[in-house]
Amino acid sequence: MRTPFIAGNWKMHKTVGEAVSLAEALAPRVDGLAGVEVAVAPPFTALAATGKALAGSAVRLAAQTMHEAAQGAYTGEVSTAMLRDVGCTYVILGHSERRQLFGETDQGVGRKARAALAAGLAPIVCVGETLAEREAGETLAVVERQTRAAVTGLPADAWGTVVLAYEPVWAIGTGRVATTAQAQEVHAHLRAVLTAVGGEAAAGATRILYGGSVKPDNVRDLMAQPDVDGALVGGASLDAETFASIARFRV
Ligand code: PGA
């Protein structure tokens, strides 16, 4: 009932030409894969060209962040209409790098999620604890707080559209992946939080991705966990064959 979802977050990598090459190499490797949805999130400057390169492909386009206002005097920001205009289906929100380096708050991420949905974009809301929070035993409380702020008050038809991504901060870009048990524990808790907020059907329809050092050799075990519905992939999404082999986790 929840289609597995593999999304690549290119972060601040790839010029327009590099992004187009990567998209052109990726599409034939993943198009036709049954039962998995694939998306890539290039930097803003490469969204339009990547979207064109992916025309006719099943690979979806995602942005890495957005501003919640429809338009206006927000120098440096990009609106939902601008993202829709270049063909985005998804937008990553509240990535830990945005929270840690750019001051994004739980409430701000919630506002963005509601604005994205209202504009017809599907938010991929990232949550996750730092190493200090994990060591202090605060993991479940932290991800619950972040999740509640993002999904409380969502319209009923948002469930199944909004995507959650659990990304332990200590696992991002470190090569240190969460164990399958650590991932499943948090994902099951998030599912329970979604049930408490939106009810059982809502929680059952909502995909929860794992992110943090996902690679071709660990994706299968992660995807075998009952509450892991996909992966948000950073470093390993920058190479077409590596990312494609993650998307082929079933094969
Ligand atoms: P990583 O990044 O796969 O390079 O650890 C994941 C992410 O930040 O989304």
In short, whether 7's Cβ falls inside 6 Å of ligand 1 is no
**Which residue from 6, 9, 13 has its CB within 8 A of the most atoms of ligand 1, so it is best to mutate?**
9
The predicted pLDDT at position 1 comes to 82
| Atom 1, ligand 1: residue with shortest CA distance | 234
Q: Would residue 167 show up in a list of annotated catalytic residues for this protein? A: yes
Tokens, residue 22: 């990567």
Q: Which atom of ligand 1 is nearest to the CA of 236?
A: 3
Hey, what amino acid is at 13? Answer: H
Give pTM, 2 decimals: 0.97
- How far, in Å, is the centroid of ligand 1 from the Cα of 204? 25
Cβ 9 vs Cβ 227: under 8 Å:
no
Catalytic residue among 129, 167, 187, 189: 167
Q: Whose CA is nearest to atom 7 of ligand 1?
A: 234
CA distance 56 to 65: 25
Query: Which atom of ligand 1 is closest in space to residue 215's alpha carbon?
Result: 3
Quickly tell me which residue has 């790098």 as its tokens: 97
CA nearest ligand 1 atom 6, residue: 234
Task: Provide the greatest CA pair distance for the chain.
Answer: 49
Q: Pick the catalytic residue: 95, 97, 187, 189? A: 95
Choose which residue among 96, 172, 219 to substitute to test ligand 1 binding: the one with the highest number of ligand atoms within 8 A of its C-beta.
172
Helix ranges restricted to H, 4-138: 16-30, 44-53, 80-85, 96-101, 106-118, 131-135
Q: Indicate the DSSP class of residue 104.
A: -
Query: How many angstroms is it from 86 CA to the middle of ligand 1?
Result: 24
- What pLDDT does residue 13 have? 98
Pocket of ligand 1, candidates 96, 169, 232, 238: which has the most ligand atoms within 8 Å of its Cβ, to mutate? Answer: 232
Q: 9 CB under 6 A from ligand 1?
A: yes
Q: Is residue 18 annotated as a catalytic residue, yes or no? A: no
Q: How far apart are CA 210 and CA 207, in angstroms?
A: 10
Question: Which residues partner with 93 through β-bridges?
Answer: 125
Question: Considering only CA atoms, which residue is closest to atom 3 of ligand 1?
Answer: 234
CB-count exposure of residue 73 (10 Å: 0-12, 13-18, 19+): exposed
- Per-residue pLDDT of the chain in tens (251 residues, 90 and over written 9): 899 999 999 999 999 999 999 999 999 999 999 999 999 999 999 999 999 999 999 999 999 999 999 999 999 999 999 999 999 999 999 999 999 999 999 999 999 999 999 999 999 999 999 999 999 999 999 999 999 999 998 998 999 999 999 999 999 999 999 999 999 999 999 999 999 999 999 999 999 999 999 999 999 999 999 999 999 999 999 999 999 999 999 88
User: Does residue 104 line the site of ligand 1, with CB under 6 A?
Assistant: no
Q: Which long-range contacts (CB under 8 A, 24 or more apart) does 93-96 make?
A: 93/65, 93/66, 93/123, 93/124, 93/125, 93/126, 93/150, 94/125, 94/126, 94/127, 94/146, 94/150, 95/9, 95/64, 95/65, 95/126, 95/167, 96/126, 96/128, 96/167, 96/169, 96/172
pLDDT at 90: 98
